Amino acid sequence: MPKITIIGAGFVGSTAAHWIAAKSLGDIVLLDIVEGAAIGKALDLSEALPIIRSTVTVRGTKDYKETKGSDVIVITAGIARKPGMTRDDLLKINTKIVADVAQQAIPHSPAAVVIVVSNPLDAMCYVTLKSSHHPRKKVIGMAGTLDTARFHYFIAEKLNVPVTDVDAIVIGTHGDTMVPLPRHTKVKGRPLLEVMKKEDIDEIIKRTINGGAEIVNHLQIGSAYFAPGAAIMQMVDAIINDTKKVLPCSVWLEGELGIKEVFLGVPVSLGCDGWEEVVDLRFNKEEMAALEKAAAQVKETIQSAESLL
């Protein structure tokens, strides 16, 4: 049975564990430094296994030694941005947390594929790569899968069609410079641009970019976790089952698509060894310009993170 470690037993980490257990993708180790947090949630999830007919085991711990031999490591550790907190404040705190996690977890599982979820996402991917010296194709950021799901859902909702009738993709950053791709989106096999007005598409793109904030505004306390947890599961599924499924993920580029030395969300095929190749969707000039703008923004954040390592 494959072994999947999830570091951070908060809402996102524990919900990801739930989705992974429900699909019986592998035995789960849930780790958190807060005394009892991972153990309690792992026990609760374990007691659900007979009901959901899952064949996996779920263990909670605060000891990194128990993660040894993991096939996949998911890093959700870190704090969420709070009111009054600047992005620099968040970067400083989470850089330290994520670097520490990577340095403690990855040596126990040197062959693992690492999925980074902590924010600011693209910078935390760099922190993980830099602090662990892990192979670049085994460090992958979860962002585009979530942003794509939101874009996908908003289109289906607007057109009143089943979500299964929509095929969509979002690349770029997990933030203001994300790049939804209407030209590559289809509804019941037809191009989105043929079935929806431009102003409606623009409104959905804006809503997608602000998708996380919309949920935070409704909840008042806390942020999204069902969809992020499911997005993590989708990536774990592709890796564990070596499906080569193409998903938008944040990866370290070294010339792919003409972009170098930056983590950026692009379509990649995922398998048991991590991401295998970037899939070129033949972006037009406007799409490439948006992607290059996103890359420039991430490079600035990475430079700030670099100074903290």
Beta strand pairing status for 186-187 and 190-191? antiparallel
CA dist., res. 305 & res. 309, Å (int): 7
Overall residue count recorded for the chain in this entry: 309
C-beta separation of 93 from 78 below 8 A: yes
- Going from the C-alpha of 187 to that of each of 166, 168, 294, the distances in angstroms are 5, 9, 27
CA dist., res. 307 & res. 141, Å (int): 21
Q: Which residues are catalytic?
A: 174
